[in-house]
Chain A
Amino acid sequence: MSLEEYKGVFIFAQQVDNELSSIALELLGKAKNLAEDLDEKKVTAVLLGSGVKGLSDKLAEYGADRVIVVDDPALKDYRTEPYTHALASVINEFKPEILLVGATAIGRDLGPRVSSRVHTGLTADCTSLDIGDFPLNAVPGQEQKHKQLLMTRPAFGGNTIATIACPDFRPQMATVRPGVMQKIDPIKGAKAEIVEFNPGFEENNCYTEILKIVKEASSVADIQGAKILVSGGRGVGSAENFKLLDDLAEALGGTVSCSRAVVDSGWKPKDLQVGQTGKTVRPALYFAIGISGAIQHVAGMEESDIIIAINKDENAPIFDVADYGVVGDLNKIVPALTKKIKESLAAKK
């Protein structure tokens, strides 16, 4: 493998039902950022699907200089084998230096399969990506490589953090946690170079058949897009008592989310869960109400700009990450707080 042949930052532009997933745009934002530190500044989006070419303009508006489209009926709904074949073929043909994939239910299946096929490394669930030297500091007798992708990820349930490089194989591949990287402000009317590519699809033993697709009614809000989250934990006490949090969220124009304990108790759906096994969020304001602050929860919210915690246990670990902690009874404080905020906002009108 001649590493020099591999150039440019590529992202897998995930779409579902011919709609781009938010992660595709987040990856473009990060890719642009990384490309600034590399010789090849062009960012390429790889778009796989059936009848998806129309999505190219949106990718351009969010930072793609080039879109490689593989459009084939075999790619209509996500199946591991045809998607792997498509993406691996794009890699072999276009030789990216870096390939970013969302750490979604699709990306975490596709990424490892592709990395195995093209024989390169893959770092899972990254929360931070940079260009730098490997090893970080020069070591006598070992070549220090420059402009490497340094991939940082939490492990061990969020207890440890590791930075990983892939110095001798290309592309350098990472799956990236949704909700962590920032999209750019869209550039209206931007156009990308469109490259159509089809490696040909032939059924083999690895092809699966989708018998049924069941969409689960997602009446719930997107907690990763929310600027203000009012999050409740076991301390809220019951599903009914979440009304207190609903009211506060409504007053602030925010959204309710929760900890794992709440989902396990059946009080809220899994889509609202923040944390290691739920979603990573970084809102401008995060209220942690009746949440003790287990490390798995903290891993999903600690990057929030402002964290306010209300908990009756003064030793709750949530106070270690909160910017402002209030020791007290949520059942009394939250309704009073909602009332006061409403009054305060009404007075400003």
Chain B
Amino acid sequence: MKIVVCIKQVPDTKGGVKFKPDGTLDRGAMLAIMNPDDKAGLEAALRLKDQYGAEVTVLTMGLPKADAVLREAFAMGADKAILVTDRVLGGADTWATSSTIAGAIRNLEYDLIITGRQAIDGDTAQVGPQISEHLNLPVISYAEEIKVDEKAKTVEVKRQFEDRYHIVKAKMPCLVTALSELNEPRYMTPGGIFDAFEKEVTVWGRNDLKDVDDSNLGLKGSPTQIAKASDKVKKGQGEKVAPDSVDEAVDYIVGKLTEKHVI
């Protein structure tokens, strides 16, 4: 079985959000990490590898420095890694990103493609389903469990909704988007880390993409365009009191609730 896992390098927004003195986001000061949902997707692939001896290829699109997350994937146990990087691919929205990744995956053999549900920088959850459409594959989003029947060439996925889950069966090849709740990703092993820097990352540019028109790539190939982007303006601070006694605190709150006609 051959599995392709799409991963993304993202700035860590959890807890470590840094601001510049002028109040704007300091992206340079934030750690670059493997996107959590993608890491869960990679872990799911590695578990299938443990079980069935699958070959796991990780693929990322990004700047050359995204090499770091591919090395991390090697250290966790991935077999092959591909970095898709090219200036003409920059500024892509989800449509152009998914066209690019689909163009890269067309070069590969695969039974299963796993992506994270969403990346913590964009939070769109769009690229996985969009890749599946470009490749004409079934998609199962929001996976909490993935089981494979190698003989029947099918997957069975626990697909999460707000108030229920479905057990969904799809024919392979197919694409599954993973939730970070799927599993607890393994740590890199010392031997793995050592090997990670020995192994070769395949680097692909625009010309290595298969069956994609220039009009579908990069900023030019992006149907959506940014009209305005800004770091969020914080709401003006309200009142803050530090009462000396509990009674005083209670009176303060009750006073406000009365004033606002809540009680």
Q: Is the CB of A122 within 8 A of B246?
A: no
Chain A residue nearest to B133 in the complex (CB): A116
- Inter-chain contact A164/B246, CB cutoff 8 Å: no
Shortest CB-to-CB span from A288 to chain B, Å, is 12
A276 to B119: give the CA distance in the assembly, Å: 13
A231 CB → nearest B CB, Å: 15
Interface status of A244 (Cβ within 8 A of chain B): no
Instruction: Looking at the assembled complex, report how far the CB atom of A109 sits from the nearest CB atom of chain B, in whole angstroms.
Output: 4
Residues of B contacting A337 in the complex (Cβ-Cβ under 8 angstroms): 249-250, 253-254
The answer to whether B263 touches A344 (Cβ under 8 A) is: yes
Interface pair B241/A160, CB less than 8 Å apart = no
Question: Which residues does chain A contribute within 8 Å of B235, judged by CB atoms?
Answer: 302, 320-321
What are the interface flags for B150-171 relative to A under an 8 Å C-beta threshold, 1 for contact and 0 otherwise? 0000001000111111111111
- Contact residues of A between 287 and 344, Cβ < 8 Å to B: 294-296, 302, 306-308, 310, 314, 319-329, 332-333, 336-337, 340-341, 344
The reply to whether B132 and A341 contact each other, CB–CB distance below 8 Å, is no
Count the A residues whose beta carbon is within 8 Å of the partner chain — how many?
93
Given contacts A80-B138, A158-B232, whether A165 and B227 have CB atoms under 8 Å apart is yes
Task: Tell me the residues in window 170-188 of chain B with beta carbons closer than 8 Å to chain A beta carbons.
Answer: 170-171
Give which listed residue, B164, B238, B251, contacts A324 with CB less than 8 A: B238
In-complex Cβ contact of B232 among A160, A165, A228, A276 (8 A)? A160
Q: Is the CB of A121 within 8 A of B227?
A: no
Q: A124-B124, A156-B25, A337-B254 are in contact. Are A327 and B241 (CB under 8 A)?
A: yes
Residue A195 CB within 8 A of the other chain: no
**A2 CB within 8 Å of chain B:** no
Asked whether A319 lies within 8 Å of B237 as measured between CB atoms, the reply is yes
CB contact under 8 A between A156 and B13, given known A122-B95, A213-B166:
yes
CA distance A207 to B170 in the complex (A): 7
* B109: min CB distance to chain A, Å: 17
A161 at the interface (CB under 8 A from B): yes
**Which residues of the other chain, A, contact B249 by a CB distance below 8 angstroms?**
310, 326, 328, 333, 336-337
Q: Is B22's beta carbon under 8 Å from chain A?
A: no
Chain B stretch 1-25: residues in CB contact (< 8 A) with chain A: 11, 13-15, 17, 25
Judged by DSSP, the binding face of A is: mixed
Let me know if A15 is at the binding interface, CB within 8 A.
no
Q: Could you tell me the distance in whole angstroms from the C-beta of B179 to the nearest C-beta in chain A? A: 10
Taking a contact as CB atoms under 8 Å apart, the answer to whether A104 and B141 are in contact is no
Q: Does B137 contact A (CB under 8 A)?
A: yes
| Set of chain B residues within 8 Å of A211, measured between Cβ atoms | 156, 166-169
Cα A211 to Cα B152 with chains together (Å) = 15
Q: Which chain A residues lie closer than 8 Å to B127 at the CB level?
A: 112
Interface-facing stretch out of A33-41, A166-174, A183-191: A166-174
Q: Given the known A-B contacts A124-B126, A155-B122, are A326 and B243 also in contact in the complex, defined by CB atoms under 8 Å?
A: yes
Task: Report 11 cross-chain contacts, Cβ distance below 8 Å, ordered by A residue.
Answer: A113-B132, A116-B134, A121-B222, A166-B224, A168-B223, A208-B140, A210-B167, A211-B156, A213-B167, A218-B163, A332-B246
**Other 15 A-B pairs with CB < 8 A, given A214-B166, A296-B14:** A112-B124, A113-B132, A134-B225, A154-B123, A156-B123, A162-B230, A168-B223, A211-B169, A213-B164, A218-B163, A252-B262, A271-B163, A327-B241, A333-B250, A336-B250
Identify the B interface with A (CB < 8 A).
Answer: 11, 13-15, 17, 25, 93-95, 98, 120-130, 132-134, 136-142, 156, 160-171, 222-232, 234-235, 237-243, 246-247, 249-254, 256-258, 260, 262-263
